Amino acid sequence: MSHLCIESQLLSKERQNVTFLIEELTNIWDGGKEETMIRRRVEKLFADDPELKSPPLCTMTRDEEFTEATRKSAYIYRHFIPKHKLYPSSRESKHLTSVLFRAQPLATNLFIHMGVFVYCIKTMGSDKQVAKWLQLAKNLNIIGTYAQTELGHGSFLRGLETQATYDRTTQEFVINCPQLSSMKWWPGDLGVNANHALVMANLIIDNKKYGMHAFIVQIRDLSTHKPLPGVSVGDIGNKFGLGSTDNGFLYLKNVRIPLENLLNKNAEVKPDGTYLKKASDRLVYGSMVNLRVSIPKQCTDVLAKACTIAIRYSGVRRQGLLKPDGAEVPILDYTLQQHKLIPQLATVYATNFAGLQIQKKYEVFLQNLSNDDISDLAELHALSASFKASVSEQGTEGVEVCRRACGGHGYSQASGLPSLLARVTPACTYEGENTVLYLQTARFLMKCASKKAKDLPKSVTFLVQPTQMMNINNVTSLDFIVHCFKSRATICVQAAAKRLQQTMGQGVEINEAWNKNAVELVKAAKAYVMQFIVDGFTTFVKGLKCSKPTKKIFEDLCSLYGLHFINNNSGDFLKLGIITAHHCNLAEEAEIELLGKLRPNAVGIVDAFDFSDFSLDSCLGAYDGNVYERLFDMAKLSPLNKEQVHQASYKYLRPYLLEGRDILEGSKSKL
């Protein structure tokens, strides 16, 4: 249809009513005007390349998805990146990762190879090993995976069972998975594509165990790509989303690798079996922190996409009346719809800009690290662990809220929302299961609670200081909101510490005492990270230099984020005496008022994320709002519509339907 459909007209009207400059918000979001420019350039390269086009995801089988992902990934690393000189040193490269991630799930193969296998060789290999393997890996001349998790063990690293036994006579390691539960399970790029694996295994020399080490193991033949003797490798089967990802299993039986395949920058085995420790393993934490900083950003981006889809759709979906004889209204006019969606927008902002604070801390840490100073590591680890946990949970919940807020169409794969959900939720589990991560943060907090303020990093001294009362004039004030979250964190941490002490005072052994108080401990960790997010976002907003209307958007989203959480968890604040029932009522009213204020700008705010239709891949979320035509066009592509009559299915009904024909036509001829 060439004329502008009513849905498109509605979105245009929304855009006319926006009170701020969308481009300004986009620039802030990207981290500056120039960054926006570079990002757009990279996105355009990606979108314009015919090799990077795919059929719509929702029309493909898993096998097709998988194959397509391999095709595109290989093309990207061997052609697209060199052609456009998007090397890691270039300013474009930062955006490349995000563009690739935006274009998931159809460009995700070789992520573990490129991101982890290559990285491990670089950081854990000796110079000689780097010289041998690095360039090969970068060129896809070998394809590797990072094989740590086993069928029977994930979180508890000490429980991993795979063994690498040194055989002095041949100067080889013999790699074995002693039992079924020891086989490697889940590693990305492993099942089908990899011909090498970086296997984490217990090093054993002369029956003595030396703990986990990293070994490069060739698993498939270099010519035929067939599994080598002793290697059982394959795909682990279909998953909740991520169909294109090559998660595999690897069962190793007496696979022999040369001595030189132990990555030996930090630890070495001499030909005679002597074991040499060369550097601390603690440095490995640095890279874990790195990964945990990048995951929240990905979750935030996914939620931003979901918000874009749901808010644009709510601007064009008309349903029901607000005036008895008026026209039907877009569902975004309903307070309940605003109450579902706009807080998700606030979550995107809060987690994104609080994340920048961790990023800064991480950069400082890396500087200190180069001077062998790792004093910030404990805090950074605690913060990044709980931040990853919290943002992945908020992202998952938020995407699901957005999805369900789209009614029936939110179930269509064509909406893009189910695949966003499937993309964000695994972040709750990979790279540290969230509950385990919260407990790690709690460990840090309990250590803090046992110290004096002067012995703590400045950023956490508030945890051991008395909370202060505050005179409240205005519940939407950012100072008040930050105060509430800080007080809650302090009280929760101190209470958990006290209970832990009490339990142990009764003679309960430490692990058991932790277990008994685990619910409280996780609550303390959550309170800690929430105060960090609220504080971090507030700090950013206060320091932000921009036009007044844009600043107002930030302030409103910041208040909304805090108030929405307080209203949904008011018990925590009431019980601890931080606020009163009266404040609760004010906070609830203030939230509804903020929703009303933000509503006219909602479409503008999601426009500012600047997702292209290509990267959104959603019939409901496209810029022009032409949702129904898109849904219909996409439906026509359904594989089940290939034939006018679906013969495979019809054959089971045909005999009965022909009986029906005879009866109906018989009765007709009788008439």
Q: State how beta strands 146-147 and 196-205 pair.
A: parallel
Phi (first) and psi of residue 169, to 5 degrees: -65, -35
Give start and end residues of each alpha helix (H) in 450-545. 478-505, 510-516, 518-543
122 lies in the site for a copy of itself, by CB under 8 A = no
Q: Which stretch binds a copy of itself (CB under 8 A): 29-37, 184-192, 362-370, 452-460?
A: 184-192
Q: With residue 174 as reference, give the H or E element that holds it.
A: strand 172-176
Q: Which range in 360-368, 409-417, 526-534, 540-548 contacts a copy of itself by CB under 8 A?
A: 409-417
Binding test (CB under 8 A) with a copy of itself, winner from 17, 83, 85, 180: 180
- The residue among 123, 114, 125, 211 whose CA lies nearest residue 162 is 211
Binding mask 321-350 for a copy of itself (x = CB under 8 A): xxxx---x----xxxx--x-----------
Please count the CA atoms within 13 angstroms of the CA of 541 that sit on its side-chain side. Answer: 28
Name the segment binding a copy of itself (CB under 8 A); options: 282-290, 300-308, 355-363, 628-636: 628-636
The 55-74 site mask, x for binding a copy of itself (CB under 8 A), equals ---xx-xxx--xx--xx--x
139: contact with a copy of itself by CB under 8 A = yes
Give the relative orientation of helices 377-404 and 335-369 as an angle to the nearest 10 degrees.
Answer: 160
Closest CB 213 distance from a copy of itself, rounded Å: 22
**Least CB distance to a copy of itself at residue 365 (A):** 28
What count of Cα atoms within 13 Å lies in the side-chain half-sphere of residue 455? Answer: 7
- What residues contact residue 478 under an 8 Å CB cut-off, 6+ apart? 538, 541, 542, 555, 558, 559, 562
Q: What gap in Å lies between CA 435 and CA 269, rounded to an integer? A: 36
Distance CA 108, CA 242 (A): 9
> Binding to a copy of itself by residue 159, rule CB under 8 A?
yes
> Taking the complex as a whole, how short is the minimal distance between the CB of residue 244 and a copy of itself, in angstroms?
10
Please report whether residue 226 would count as binding a copy of itself according to CB under 8 A. Answer: yes
Identify the residue among 8, 26, 176, 195 touching a copy of itself (CB under 8 A): 195
Residue 107's φ and ψ, nearest 5 degrees, are: -140, 30
Task: Count Cβ neighbours within 10 Å for each residue of 91-124 and write b for 16 or more, e otherwise.
Answer: ebebbbbbbbbbbbbbbbbbbbbbbbbbbbbeeb
CB 282 within 8 A of CB 374: yes
Yes or no: say if 27 and 36 are a contact pair by the CB < 8 Å rule.
yes
Determine if 238 is a binding residue for a copy of itself (CB under 8 A). yes
Which residue among 10, 342, 437, 522 contacts a copy of itself (CB under 8 A)?
522
- Strand 196-205 vs strand 208-218: parallel, antiparallel, or unpaired? antiparallel
Out of 398, 410, 416, 621, the only residue in the binding site for a copy of itself (CB under 8 A) is: 410
Distance of closest approach, residue 206 Cβ to a copy of itself, in angstroms:
24
Give the range of 145-153, 286-294, 375-383, 481-489 binding a copy of itself by CB under 8 A: 145-153
The CA distances from residue 45 to 83, 88, 95, 174, in Å, are 10, 17, 12, 47
Contact region with a copy of itself (CB under 8 A), list: 122-130, 170-178, 200-208, 234-242: 234-242
Residue with Cβ nearer a copy of itself (7 or 301): 7
In this chain, which of 275, 588, 612, 623 binds a copy of itself, going by CB under 8 A? 588
Q: Which is nearer to a copy of itself, 204 or 574 (CB)?
A: 574
Catalytic one of 172, 379, 397, 431: 431
Q: Which of 645, 666, 669, 670 binds a copy of itself (CB under 8 A)?
A: 645
Nearer to a copy of itself, 458 or 671 (CB): 671
**According to the binding rule CB under 8 A, does residue 78 interact with a copy of itself?**
yes
Q: Judged by CB under 8 A, does residue 154 bind a copy of itself?
A: yes
Q: Please say if 431 is a catalytic residue.
A: yes
Q: Which is nearer to a copy of itself, 56 or 549 (CB)?
A: 56
Nearer to a copy of itself by Cβ, of 211 and 577: the residue is 577
Rule CB under 8 A: is residue 624 a binding residue for a copy of itself? no
ω into 82 cis (within 30 of 0): no
Could you say which residues in the range 541-570 bind a copy of itself, by CB under 8 A? Answer: 567, 569-570
Give 493's contacts (C-beta < 8 A, 6+ positions apart): 445, 446, 448, 449, 463, 524, 527, 528
What does DSSP assign to residue 231?
Answer: E
Mark the segment that binds a copy of itself (CB under 8 A) among 23-31, 228-236, 264-272, 537-545. Answer: 228-236
The count of chain residues that interact with a copy of itself, using the rule CB under 8 A, is 139
Give the residue numbers annotated as catalytic, written as ranges.
Answer: 431
